[in-house]
Amino acid sequence: MSAVHSFTRQEQHRHLPIWPSEAERLESFGQAIDQIGKQAYDQVGQEDLDHIRGIRRWSRRFEISGRGLIMLAPEPLSYLAGVVALWLHKQLEAIEIGHTALHGAFNRIEGAGEFASAGFRWRIPIEEDAWRRGHNVRHHGHTNVAGKDPDIYWGIVRLTPETPHRLINYLQVPGSLLLIWPNLTFLMNAHFTGLLDLYLGNGRDNRHDFRKDRSWSSILGAHRQALRKYIPYYAREYLLFPALAGPWFAKVALGNWLSETLRDLYTAATIYCGHVGPETTSYDEGEQPTSRGLRYEMQVRATNNFEVPWPLSILCGGLDRQIEHHLYPTLPTTRLRQIAPAVQATCEHHGVQYRNASWPRTLWGAFKQLARLSVKGSSERKAYITEKAALVATPQPGSVGDELAA
């Protein structure tokens, strides 16, 4: 057993329990994480539904005031206030409301109505079914696992050492800032529907991640699915509302674009922090957990938390508690914030690294890793190899990763 994960003797100086075996440590960790989740899920109910309905009411107020100010503002300050208000609406709809609802966080609550995942309509240009398959199933089932997690392949961006290096990766830092971040939701829809695979590949030998081939039916299917959200969304933002403004068409279109860009930049800064960083673990293709406790440990090691005030946490959709979200993906955001101290204590008790720094520090770490991965070389893998040899057992049929991703 590698020194990284043997807690029977080596970790006494860190005041950790002396586990009789590695298997018993993992079993204890899995049971403790399950118990925290059970207690949290047992409390989910009307309070959580009231919270999300309240957020939706605030979202509508921000939309009405924002669109009104953008259209009618006589001077720059009130115009910018309208842009910020519309951004707040779009930000809340994207993550605190939409992301949470599509994970099924309110499905257990009687009367969930429009917030039930099956019929939920996301107020951003991302196709819901494509996102559920790519994000809920694959990303959460196989976080940071090469060949399994589609969120580590982003066209020109290489997010883990396991992704083969291409010449275009040398440009991924400026490319992220200038192209991907300001257009995140547009590109996410292109990603999950398979358009990026068709046009840019994914950096792997198998270029087809979301589409099995490049047949005409596959190509048409990808475009049809993407346009299902693109056309009505962008027609509303850049044709309908500007047209209603008459002579102020350009002013409204600009305001809508600015609010859209703010949402995408803020969301990108939130998402990139979640699984990218110098200490964040990634896994080779085919690596899967062989126990529930090991799956939880792999999730924690592949994920970062960051600290923000409560209002910013709302705008992050609870993804500042990304570790908790990956352990309990169908838990409402208010519960994620509540259980974070218990999860952190459990991780520390079992010797599992729980990363939780300030948002600027975490974001800076993500950019340093992005810059490191932009350069081709073998030195970038040295921090991973020893740890992963101890962390992940040989994959077996019916492993826990496949069971929970199904």
Q: Which of 183, 179, 186 is nearest to 230 (CA)?
A: 186
- Name 356's bridge partners: 305
Specify the pairing of strand 157-158 against strand 153-154. Answer: antiparallel
What is the amino acid identity at position 191?
Answer: H
What is the amino acid identity at position 338?
Answer: Q
Question: For residue 277, is it left (φ>0), alpha (ψ between -120 and 50) or beta?
Answer: left
Report H helices in 156-289: 172-175, 184-193, 195-200, 216-235, 241-244, 249-275
How many other C-beta atoms can be found within 10 angstroms of the C-beta atom of residue 375? 12
The answer to whether 198 touches 219, Cβ cutoff 8 Å, is yes
In the block, residue with structure tokens 């003797």: 9
In the block, residue with structure tokens 């720094």: 357
Q: Which of 313, 282, 308, 306 is nearest to 365 (CA)?
A: 306
Residues whose CB falls within 8 Å of the CB of residue 226, separated by 6 or more in sequence, listed in order: 127, 189, 190, 193, 195
pLDDT of residue 2: 32
The answer to whether 187 touches 180, Cβ cutoff 8 Å, is yes
In the block, residue with structure tokens 């999730």: 299
Domain boundaries of the chain, sorted by first residue: 1-406
**Weakly modelled stretches of the chain, pLDDT under 70:** 1-16, 155, 201-209, 378-406
- Name 283's bridge partners: 145
pLDDT of residue 127: 96
How far is it, in rounded angstroms, from Cα 349 to Cα 352? 8
Q: Which of 151, 194, 388 is nearest to 286 (CA)?
A: 388
Question: What's the chain's Rg over C-alpha atoms?
Answer: 22
pTM score of the predicted model: 0.88
DSSP reduced 3-state for 157: strand
DSSP reduced 3-state for 103: coil
Q: Which of 69, 53, 55, 175 is nearest to 114 (CA)?
A: 53
pLDDT of residue 258: 98
C-alpha count within 13 angstroms, C-beta hemisphere, residue 222? 23
The answer to whether 204 touches 153, Cβ cutoff 8 Å, is yes
pLDDT of residue 396: 37
Burial (0-12, 13-18, 19+ Cβ within 10 Å), 24:
middle
Q: Which of 304, 329, 343, 333 is nearest to 404 (CA)?
A: 329
The answer to whether 105 touches 48, Cβ cutoff 8 Å, is yes
How many other C-beta atoms can be found within 10 angstroms of the C-beta atom of residue 349? 14
The answer to whether 30 touches 296, Cβ cutoff 8 Å, is yes
The answer to whether 194 touches 155, Cβ cutoff 8 Å, is no
